[in-house]
Structure 1
Amino acid sequence: MKSKSKFKIIIVVGMLLGVVFGAKAFFSEGELIQGSIESEKKVICDDDGMVFEVRTKAKFVKDFLDEQKIEIGKKDYISMPEDAVLYSNSIISILRSKKITVFDGDIKKEYETFFSDMQNFFWSNNIKLAEFDIVDPEISTPIYNKMEIEIIRVEIREEVKNEQIKFKTVSEDDSDMGWREEKVIQKGENGTKKIEYEVVYYNDKEISRKIKNSEIIKEPTEKIIKKGTYVKIGKAHKGLASWYAQPSHLKSAFPSLTGYYAANPWLPKGSYVKVTNKNSGDSIIARINDRGPFGPGRIIDLDKTAFSAIASLGAGVVDVKMEEILN
C-alpha cells in the first residue's frame, strides 16, 4: 500500500512540473513572436516590377505603405491585406492597374491591365500580330500608365499588271514632197508588258512598290511618218531684220508649223518666208502674222524666238535674205 501511494505522489508531482514548464515555454514563445513583430525587420517590396529591400519597424502592411509613401490605387492589386502583420522577410507584391490606349490600324481602343510587358498584354487581350506588323514603341518597351501603343498592320502583296509600252514615232525625210506635207506609211501600235510587283501596304495604304520581274508580251510597232522637205522658193528680198516680243494672241490667229513668227509690211498674213542670216548662213522658216517694221532698210520684224535662232538678240538687227515660199 505504501509503495502504491508513493507511485501516485510521483505521478502527480510529474504532472504539476509538466504544467509549469509547459506554461513557461508557451509564454516564452509568445514573447519571441511579439519581439519579432516589434523589432526592426527586413521587408521585400515588389512594386510592379521595381523590387527593393527595406529595414523597417512597421508592424502592419498599412504602416509600411505609409512609411514608404506608397499609394495603392482602387484598381491596384496588393498581395497582403493592409491590416496584415509584417514579419522579417515578408514579401509585398503590388500590381499596378495601367490604362493603355491602342491604335490598331484605324481603330482606337482603351484597355486596363496589370501586365508590365506588351507580349503578355497582347496575349491577354487577344491582340494578334502578323509577321511583318510594326509596334510603336517597340514591343520590348515596358508598359506604363497612360501609354499609347500604335500597331501598323503590314501586308506584302504580289501583284501582276499589264502595262502599255508606248510606240515611238520615226520621221523620214522625202525631198519629193512639199515641206508642209507628211504621210503616215506605218501605223504605230502600243506594246504590252507584264510586270510583277512586290507591294507593301501599311493599314491597307500602299507605301512602296518594287518591280520583281517584267516580261514583254507584245513588242510595240513604230509609227513611221514621211515628211516633205521640198521648199518652193519665190521672190527674194534683201535688207535688215529686227526683233520684238510678239503678243500671244497674234500667234493663235495664224499657228506656225515651225513655231516661228514674223511681221512684214506687204506680204499676206498667213504666208511663209525663209529668212537667212547673210553673215552666218543660219536660216529659219517663219509665218507672217503681223505688220511692220517700218524703219528704213528693214524688211522683216522677227519674233524674239525666231530672231534668236539665227542671231544674238544683242545684235538688235542683222542683214538677211528673205525668200517667199510658194508651197
Structure 2
Amino acid sequence: MILRNGLGFSQWRVRVVGRRPPSGHKSSSLRLILKKKLLYPVVAGVAALSLVGGTAAVVALDTNEVTLSVDGAAESVSTREDTVGALLAERGITVGEHDVVLPGAEAELADGLEIVVDYARPLTLTLDGEERVIWTTGKTVEEALAALKLGDADSKVSASRSAAIGREGMTLEVVTAKDVSLVIAGENKSVRIAGTVGDALAAAGVTLDDDDVVTPAASELLAPGMEIKVVSVETKESAKEVEIPFEKKSVESEDLDKGKKKVTTKGVVGLKKETYSEIFHDGQLVETKLLNSQVVKEPVDEVTTVGTREKKKPAPAPAAPTEADDSAGNENLTPATGNSCKASYYWDPQPTANGERFNPNALTAAHKSLPFNSRVKVTNPSNGKSVVVRINDRGPYVAGRCLDLSRAAMAAIGGTSAGVITVNWEVIG
C-alpha cells in the first residue's frame, strides 16, 4: 500500500508484511522486502496500524546501491529508481543508438548491480585502401583494432596504438600484413609485411639499381599471395673489328680488244670497328644494340677493264733477228732523248692487245697509251745501245715502268741479264 503522511511528506513506497507464520513455516506470506530499510515513526494522523491476524505494518523507503561506470569512470550511486534507463535519466546520461549500456535500459535495479555505459566513437577507417566509417566503443586505437580483429602487430597503423580516441572520433589508416613471395635470380623467398612492393623488398634486404626490373611496380600495394619478381639488369659494352667487303666494278676501254677483260685495280677489303651495348637479365644476354661504327680502313673497289676495240688482222711478223744481228743493225743509231723510265721485257707467246700473236723474237714493245704501230727508239744509257721497236701491246701495269720490251728488243740493248733497266726513249714514227 502507499501511504501519505498528514504533514505533506514525500510519497513513500512501502510493502505490507503479513502475519508471521509459525516457526519453521516456509510459505510465501507477505513480508517487507527492502535492501535497506528506513523506518519512520507513524505520524499523529496515523497513530497505529491495524493488526490483522498478528501481521505488523511497517512503512519503509526502498533504495539501491549500484556501481555506475561511464566510459571507464566508475562511481557508487544510491538510487530509488527501478530500472537502468530510469537511473541514467536521473543522472542526465543520454545514450545514442551506437552506445553500449549493460545491462540494458529495461533491466531492473538491484543492490550491488554494476552498470556499464560505453560511448561509441565514429572511426573513419581506411583499410588496405578502402575507406569506411565504423562505430567503436574502444577508447584507444589498440582497443578499437582488437574489437575489429585487426590487432596484428605486423600491420601498419597511421597512429600510435596507445593513442586515445575521443568522443568526436578519429581518422585511421590500417594496412594489413600480407604473406608474399619474392623471386630473385630464380630463388624464392617468403616475406610477411604490410605496405607496398617496395616495403617487401626493403624488408628482404634487396637493394635495386636504377635499371633493375621489378614486377609488379615498387609502388603497388601488396596483396595476399602476391609473387614479386626482381630481374637484375646489367649493361656492358663490347667492341669488335668487322671486314668491309669491296665492290666490283667494270669499265670499258677501247685500248683492249673486244671480248677481253683485265683486272686493272685489285680489290682490297676494308675494316671497321663496331661498339655494342649488351644487356643481361640475371646474367643472361637478352639484347644487343649497335652503339657506334667507325671505319678504320676504307675498302678498295676491284676494277675490271672490258675491251671494246675491234680486232685487226695481224701484220706479218718480220724475220726474227738474233741478238747479234739486232746489236749490229742498231750500232749506228743515235741515242734516244726526251723521256726516261724503267723498262722490263716479256716472252710469253700470247695474243697482244692489237690482236697479233706475240713473237718474243720480234722488235716490239708494250706501252699503256701510245698508238699501236708507233715506232719508238729505246736507248740503254749504261752501254749506249739503242733499238727501234714497234708498239703492239698494252702495259706494263707496274708503277714506275713505261715500256715492256720483247725479249729480242731487250737483248738488243743488252738488258736481259738485269731484267728491268732504266732506258731513254722517244717516239720516231
- Normalising to structure 2: TM-score of the pair? 0.36
- Normalising to structure 1: TM-score of the pair? 0.45
Which structure ranks higher in relative contact order (CA pairs < 8 Å, sequence separation ≥ 6)? Answer: 1
Which structure is higher in helix share?
A: 1
Quick check: which has more Rg, 1 or 2? 2
Which structure is higher in strand share?
A: 1
